[in-house]
Chain A
Amino acid sequence: MTSLWTQVEPLLAHVTKPARYIGGELGAQQPEHGPGVVSWLLLYPDTYEVGLPNQGLQILYELLNERPDAAAERSYAPWVDMEAAMRSAGVPLFSLEGHRPAAEFDVIAFNLSAELVYTNVLNLIDLAGLPVHAEERTDEDAVVIVGGHCAFNPEPLADFIDCAVLGDGEEVVGELNDVLATFRRPDGGWTDRQALLRALAQVPGVYVPSCYDVSYDETSGRLAAITPRFPETPERVEKRTIADLGAWPYPKQQLVPLIEVVHDRLNVELFRGCTRGCRFCQAGMITRPVRERPAEQVRTMVRSGLDRTGYDEVALTSLSSADYSGIEPTVTSIIDDPSCSGQVSVSLPSLRVDAFTVGTAAQIQRVRRTGLTFAPEGGTWRMRQVINKLIREEDLYAAVDAAFSQGWKRVKLYFLIGLPTETDEDTLGIVRLASRCVEIGRRYHKGVTVTASVGGFVPKVQTPFQWFGQNTIEELTRKVHLLRDAARPVRGLTIRWHDPKASAAEGISSRGDRRIGAVIEHVWRHGGTFQEWSEYFDLALWTAALEAHGMSLEDVAYRHRGEDDVLPWDHLSAGLHRDFLWQDWKDALAEHGLEDCRWTPCYDCGACTGFGVEHVVASAVPPAGGSQGTGQDLSTGGQVPVRFLAAAPSGAAPAAPGGTAVTLAAEGSA
């Protein structure tokens, strides 16, 4: 393979953050390529700083490079200035390890974690020098594979990718390599691309769009069916699930970048999967069941990882880290480890909302205490029952009270707007709730700040909300204005919101069918890359593209789907039975919450039974504190204990008049 370094180097003097393109991280490998070796270019379709920390990509990187018959290198989306420099100098996309041209790799594999990056995917395929349309690729061209959460609805990308891989990648990546090796010619290229794709389609968890026919209803124009074209192709592709996370202690050599990236710290995965059952949360639905890593292995990975990297921060990651059995002793053993000399901080990226969790947080943030973040998601108890985020008012305020009383002065709260059945009372409940948090904080400190960060809800596939028609841009904007106006007089409360236009564009690809491919291509051809970056996002590109192809936001994003609708991802499965999801959707509309199935009887969602796996949880009882519905009296969920009501105890700072006024206004509007 050839190196493009001498052509890349002169470009670097003229671009921002040139170190994005040099490689050389601790943990970077220099794999050997050769006749019997399948070469993979692992791509994250966003900037280096966003993509490098991605743990999924790093795990596959190590697993592939451990094999004698595979070689994996990495690349990320060059920023717009570098892309322009590359295109004008005729330099194609290259890997960071060997600065090898992307087109010399056998496989180009993308990690997809968000829909707005899809135009970057097309751009990178093009920058690699491959035909953007999969059907135009020949035996000489690389195979384009996507994985990650968005792979559960790959239809919008069906025209551009060769296959999508569903679920955990640890096992299937090796099986893919085996099949690819069989079809790889010693001089590179494939013996028979079509036969290769048909063979890949038979690997469990692998979906090859070109092996399926799509038909549309002639009168309605809606999707009618997606059916296999070949007898051996499965009708339904089931996701892959590893049974035991403890068998996969990866990454073993986490990459340490030379420049600062997001999540710039050691990451150790505590467990995979989450059964809290939040109905809006795709990650929780598609990664079931819960599989905990043994505590001893966590400690070993933390210790060896810190020794190897020199990091002074470790994140214990999962979808809800405070739910890990024995989270407390695990955290304590890390911060009390003498080899860390008291300078290592631990972060739990997702806190459960209760006072108990704050106690753990106080313990771990004794080194560098920043802010605390909670995610109630809904502003009223009614709303939280609909979305099944069963945080009682009492637990929420107790958590915030604990945070302020233990020294924190900044609290951040995450909310969603545009949720199913949401009324203005629910929306304004966000301000009421956040104002009460400010009042609680003032009992302890003068200058407390509470930030309510508000995102517009985009329904995701393989969740109970996949049938819900998302709020229009106008409706989300109206709700944002409601919140902004109500919060304005409240000293100490800041509202931040996500651009409703971006939520709409995200909704196009989130639940779109194969015809959305033309829209994505249109946006890309009109210069729409880096759409998840606000400085480059342009809704007009998306609406123009929809119009050009006879589609509309009304139909693609805002329309409610019915039980009988054929959904573009019905032939793909995250293990969840369709009737479970439909029942959960009905339960949502009935404001009925479900407890976590880790410690209560099974609801038969299908994730365990379908794959012959089960929860791997060390503790048979819910965590101490037992919040979020488990073992709690949900009939009192909406009640606010007297101690958290506005009347401040004597000796504390009085609540701001503005705060009181808003509380009244919010209640008055209900």
Chain B
Amino acid sequence: MRIRFRFAKVGKLRFTGQRDVARMWERAFRRASLPLAYTEGFSPRPQLSFGLALPTGAESLAEYLDVVLDDSRAETASVDLEALPDLLGPLLPDGIVIEEAVVAEGRIGSLQEHITSCSWTMRLAGVSRPELHELIDAMLRADNVLIERERKGKKVIDDLRPSVLGLAMVDTVVDQEIDPSGRTVGIMAELATQPRGVRPGELVAGLAAMATQRDEASQPMDDGSAEGHPNGLPVLDRACRTHQWIERDGLREEPLRRRDDPAGRATYALERAL
């Protein structure tokens, strides 16, 4: 039996990595005595698979985990799905909030392969609202947005423009709600994951590239000045993945939709963490 969980990862726990989260779940399953299925072979491991890796440091309201239970064990049949979030929740560290658990029926594909895009909210520091507005416009108008990034230890130049499916500022009210200090400006973005995912930090690097282009255009190039950016460069302060999307036949859907949740577990947890 395969069970798919949807969970949030918020607060201090965002500084842990994907492998760390996997091990937290493994320990929680064992503490709950759930009959996990193990891989065959020399070094048996529980069969856990996550969606797209979340960058260390980012929060998420939309993480997924598929786990396989051992059908040859009698306990598997008696697992109570409804009770799972409350059973496992206290066994996971603060900051992992289980939203949903369903039996994944039939032949569902792997999360890694099927996710086509992710939605993010981000807080950016170092720029004012009007400046950021300008940079977003510039990026959306641009034919290509070249940034340098590392792939397998090598620096490569990539165009991230095709991967930016949507990009907008959030309104001032939301801004103030999530960061009352007024130091940061909120944006929302939908970023494609194929053929290669774009991380929030890379999107911000793209916005910074827009700022550099703008500054170079407005200044003579030959003064050799490195002073550059009179208006400052955007810096990523916080990022939170709000959705992972699977696009099929032009329709977007989530791997596991959040049930109407009056307690708003993850949203509540995120606000508390911020």
Contact = CB atoms under 8 A, between A and B. Distances in A.
A343 B93 contact: no
Given A22-B12, A309-B27, 6 more contacts: A22-B13, A24-B95, A256-B27, A260-B19, A308-B31, A339-B33
B274 to A, nearest CB: 11
A5 B26 CA distance: 29
Given A12-B57, A19-B20, A260-B19, A310 B26 contact: yes
Contacts of A369: 42
A369 B42 CA distance: 7
The main secondary structure of chain A at its interface with chain B is: loop
B57 A13 contact: yes
B153 interface: no
B24 A368 contact: no
A12 B93 CA distance: 19
Contact of B35 (A256, A307, A311, A341): A341
B56 to A, nearest CB: 7
A18 B20 CA distance: 12
A258 B16 contact: yes
Nearest to A264: B23
Nearest to A369: B42
Nearest to B33: A339
B28 A12 contact: no
B262 interface: no
A45 B38 CA distance: 38
Nearest to A23: B12
Interface in A342-360: 343
Contact of B94 (A21, A24, A309): A24
Given A18-B15, A18-B56, A260 B20 contact: yes
Interface string A15-34: 00011011110100000000
Given A12-B15, A18-B56, A310-B31, A259 B42 contact: no
Interface of B: 12-13, 15-17, 19-20, 23-24, 26-31, 33, 35, 38, 42-44, 56-57, 91, 93-95, 236
A312 B30 contact: yes
Nearest to A9: B12
A306 to B, nearest CB: 8
B94 A343 contact: no
B153 to A, nearest CB: 15
B15 A22 contact: yes
B23 A260 contact: yes
Given A258-B24, A258-B93, A24 B30 contact: no
A259 B20 contact: yes
B91 A24 contact: no
B13 A258 contact: yes
A28 to B, nearest CB: 10
Contacts, number: 61
A367 interface: yes
A259 B16 contact: yes
B201 to A, nearest CB: 9
Nearest to B24: A258
Contacts of B91: 310
B44 A24 contact: no
Contacts of A21: 15
A229 to B, nearest CB: 48
B17 A259 contact: yes
19 contacts: A12-B57, A19-B20, A23-B12, A24-B12, A256-B27, A258-B13, A258-B20, A258-B24, A259-B16, A259-B17, A308-B31, A309-B27, A310-B28, A310-B29, A310-B30, A310-B31, A311-B30, A312-B30, A368-B44
A419 to B, nearest CB: 37
A312 B44 CA distance: 11
A12 B12 CA distance: 10
A256 B95 CA distance: 16
Contacts of A306: 30
Which of B13, B29, B30, B95 gathers most chain A CB within 10 Å?
B30
Nearest to B38: A343
Contact of A19 (B16, B26, B30, B43): B16
Contact of B93 (A24, A260, A341, A368): A24
Given A12-B57, A18-B15, A307 B20 contact: no
Contacts of B95: 24
Interface in A3-54: 12-13, 18-19, 21-24, 26
B237 to A, nearest CB: 8
Contacts of B31: 307-310
Interface string A289-326: 00000000000000000111111100000000000000
B13 A24 contact: yes
Contacts of A367: 44
Which of A24, A258, A311, A343 gathers most chain B CB within 10 Å?
A258
A463 B25 CA distance: 46
Contacts of B38: 343
A306 B31 CA distance: 8
A312 B38 CA distance: 12
A23 B94 CA distance: 11
Contacts of A343: 38, 44
A32 B93 CA distance: 21
A78 B273 CA distance: 24
A262 to B, nearest CB: 15
A669 to B, nearest CB: 40
A26 B57 contact: no
A35 B44 CA distance: 52
Contacts of B12: 22-24
Contacts of A309: 27, 31
B253 to A, nearest CB: 32
B30 to A, nearest CB: 4
Contacts of B42: 368-369
A368 B43 contact: yes
A131 to B, nearest CB: 32
Nearest to A256: B27
A310 B25 CA distance: 9
A657 B43 CA distance: 34
Contacts of B44: 343, 367-368
B15 A19 contact: yes
A396 B266 CA distance: 59
B26 to A, nearest CB: 7
A374 to B, nearest CB: 22
A26 B93 contact: yes
Contacts of A259: 16-17, 20
Nearest to B73: A341
A310 B56 contact: no
